[in-house]
Amino acid sequence: MLKLYDCSTAPSPRRARMLLAEKGIEWETIEVDLRTAEQLKPHFLAINPRATVPVLVTEAGDTIADNIAIAAYVEALHPTPPLMGTTPLEKARVLEWDFRCTMEGLMAFAEVLRNSSPHMKGRALPGPRNLDQIPELAERGRTRLAWFFEDVEAHLKDNDYLAGDHYSWADISLTILFDTARWIKAQPGDDHPALQAYMARMRERPSYNL
C-alpha cells in the first residue's frame, strides 16, 4: 500500500490526498506535525531532506517528494479516471494551468503568508534553511493573487473546468488555492461569479472534504 507523509492542516499535502481519492486508491497516512516543526527533525529529514510534505512512499519503498511528480507517478500507474489529460493537447493544458495555479496563485499566496505572519518570522521559505521575512513581498503577493483570480474568472466564464472538458489535476490545484486564500483574507467574492459557481461544483466532489 502507498504511504503518504501528510499534514492534515496544510494545503500542499491536501492536493495529494485529493488526487489519490479521485483515483480511488487506498493509502496509509503518516502525519507530520508542521506546527511543532517535525519536518525539521532528523527522522523526517532522512525521508525528505527538503523538509516538506507531502511525500509519497511507493510500494517498492521509493520516495516522491513533489506534488506534480506524485501526480505523474499515480497517473502512470492508474490512468483511469484520467486527471492529467488523454490527448497531447489536454496533457499540455493540464500542466499549463497547474503551473499557473502554482506559480501565479499558490506562490503569490505563500509570499503573503510567509512574509507577513508572525508565526513564520525567520521562516520565509519552506525547507531546512531559514530566511528573514520581506514585508514588500507580502504586498506584491496580494497584487499577484488578485490578478490571477481575475484571469481565472475570465477563463471560467466560458469553461466548466480549468484545463478542458473534464475534471483534472489543475482543478485540484485551483481548489486548494481558492480555499487557502481565506488564510490571508484574499478569497474572491461576489465580483467573481464564474469562480464562485465553479467552486460550488468542486465542493460537491467527495474528494473535496479530504
User: Which pTM does this prediction carry?
Assistant: 0.93
In 101-156, where does DSSP find H-type helix? 107-116, 135-156
Predicted local distance difference test score (pLDDT) of residue 199: 97
Residue pair 109/145 in contact (Cβ under 8 Å)? The answer is yes
Q: What is the pLDDT of residues 110-136, one digit of tens each?
A: 999 899 888 878 887 788 888 899 999
One-letter identity of residue 71 = A
Flag whether pLDDT at 166 surpasses 80: yes
Peptide bond into 13 cis (omega under 30): no
Tell me which of 1.20.1280.50, 1.10.275.10, 1.20.1050.10, 3.30.1360.120 is the CATH number of domain 88-209. Answer: 1.20.1050.10
| Interatomic CA distance for residues 44 and 123, integer angstroms | 18
Specify the 3-state DSSP secondary structure of 53.
coil
Predicted local distance difference test score (pLDDT) of residue 111: 95
Domain boundaries in the chain? 2-77, 88-209
The CATH fold of domain 2-77: Glutaredoxin (3.40.30)
| Interatomic CA distance for residues 95 and 145, integer angstroms | 19
124 or 29, higher pLDDT: 29
